[in-house]
Amino acid sequence: MDPLVHPPDPRLKWQIATATLSRLFLNTARRFAYPFAPTLSQGLGVPLFAATSLIAANQITGLLGLFFGPFADRIGYRLMMLIGLGALSFGMLFGGIFSTYGIVLVAFFLAGIGKSIFDPAIQAYVAMRVPFARRGWAIGIIELSWAGSSLLGIPLIGLLIEHIHWRAPFFFLGGLGIFGIISLSLLIPANPRKNHYPGKRISLVRAWVSLLKERRSLGALGYSFFVSIAYDNFFVAYGLWFENAFHLGITAIGLATIIIGVAEFLGEGLTATLADRMGLNRSIYFGMAVAGLAFLALPLTGNTLIFGLGVIFFLFLFMEFAIVCSISLFTELLPDARATMMSGFFASASLGRVLGALIGVPVWEAWGIIGTALVSASILSIGLFVLIWGMIGWKPK
């Protein structure tokens, strides 16, 4: 057995289930400002532009994960998970009680910080507990919380706003964060030797150096950067495409959002059930190849809505499948600095999403869906080749 992977714990499945639920709370807090920005702006008495700054404050925290990952490898994954949930709870409750614009801005920032702390820690903890041969199953289960936030979390937030008050979600998510803290505290033993890599502790700078000097980790960072550009280049323009190609508005876009959520959920489920048998590398390459073909098929849908929705479904199904398989694989690239590796992965993905969001509308305005499809497919291919380069000669220990 890999000395960096602990023997199975009979409570492991409960730990994974509770961590998945806790991550659902964090993902919902991160995402609910998107659809409810007009409601938040009205409740806070600020312009809509100011409300969208809440989203930016949340998203920028992805880059700060570069600092938190090395700390998780040093002080323990359990403690960092609890700190992440603590940031969520404090931020949401603080925002619910003192509902001014500045306080709510801080609340979303803290929720984003909580996710940036929690995600690398839980993935590193699971990687330490679950053998590589079963890693796709474990990470796939945890990643169900991402699709779950759009399929369950966001609709529930809408019900709370409609039937109670626009501030109700803050109290609700703050309370759920406390529930997560208590549950994980009880399920994960407070044993420092079992909650982080037991080797020599390294400094923050040395952790970053180790991340950048290995070809395999550089390949992973480049892959996440380029794939995220391709993803957001299309994602920011798909609503414009729907309006232009199918002459439909909010209802059709809402339908597409549901389809994307279902596709992501199934992609995560495929990772949990299929990726370990296929092999993580092969799963990534297959998923990215199909996603690239789906990008190229977008202009071929013409003005037929059912074809457009079908292509979007397969695009996001296999994109999510490949991304979650990637996360599963990358948890093993630096076994002595797993949280550092994953925080780097999320930081590079955040940079890619920012760049993709910046180029998405200009690309659409210049060349329409043909340009969007070609740019996304091309950048996706670059990311895949960078990953293949990084994986040359590497095998899990």
Q: Are 211 and 337 in contact (CB under 8 A)?
A: yes
Instruction: Choose among 226, 203, 15: nearest CA to 123.
Output: 15
Among 315, 319, 320, 322, which residue's Cα sits nearest to residue 298?
315
The answer to whether the beta carbons of residues 341 and 218 sit under 8 Å apart is no
Tokens for 283? 């799963």
212 by DSSP, 3-state: which? helix
Residues 6+ positions from 221 with CB-CB distance below 8 Å:
211, 344, 345, 348
Q: What is the rounded distance in angstroms from the CA atom of residue 187 to the CA atom of residue 21?
A: 13
Question: Going from the N-terminus, what domains does the chain have, and what CATH number goes with each?
Answer: 12-201 (1.20.1250.20), 207-391 (1.20.1250.20)
Task: Give CA 180 to chain center in angstroms.
Answer: 19
Residue 187, SS3 per DSSP: helix
- Residue whose pair of structure tokens reads 């093993």 in the numeric block: 332
Angle at 337 between CA 112 and CA 138, to 5 degrees: 70
- List, in sequence order, the alpha helices (H) in 271-304: 276-278, 280-297
CB of 315 closer than 8 Å to CB of 291 = yes
**Cα–Cα distance measured from residue 328 to residue 74, given in angstroms and rounded to the nearest whole number:** 21
The one-letter amino acid at 375: V
The burial of 337, by beta-carbon neighbours within 10 Å (0-12 exposed, 13-18 middle, 19 or more buried), is given as buried
Distance CA 74, CA 214 (A): 20
Cβ-based neighbours of 193, under 8 Å, separated by 6 or more: none
Distances in Å between the Cα of 7 and the Cα atoms of 4, 11, 327 are 10, 12, 22
Q: How many CB atoms lie within 10 A of CB 104?
A: 26
pTM given for the model: 0.88
The total number of residues written for the chain in this structure: 397
Across the chain, the runs of DSSP E, i.e. the strands, are none
- Per-residue confidence of the chain (397 residues) as pLDDT tens digits? 444 445 456 788 899 999 999 999 999 998 888 778 788 888 999 887 787 777 777 777 878 878 888 888 888 899 999 999 999 999 999 999 998 999 999 999 999 999 999 999 999 999 999 999 999 999 999 999 999 998 899 889 989 998 999 999 999 999 999 999 999 999 998 765 555 554 455 566 677 777 788 899 999 999 999 999 999 899 878 877 887 877 766 556 667 778 888 999 999 999 999 999 999 999 999 999 999 999 999 999 988 888 988 999 999 999 999 999 999 999 999 988 899 899 999 989 988 988 888 898 899 889 999 999 999 999 999 999 999 999 998 888 7
N-terminal to C-terminal alpha carbon distance within the chain: 10
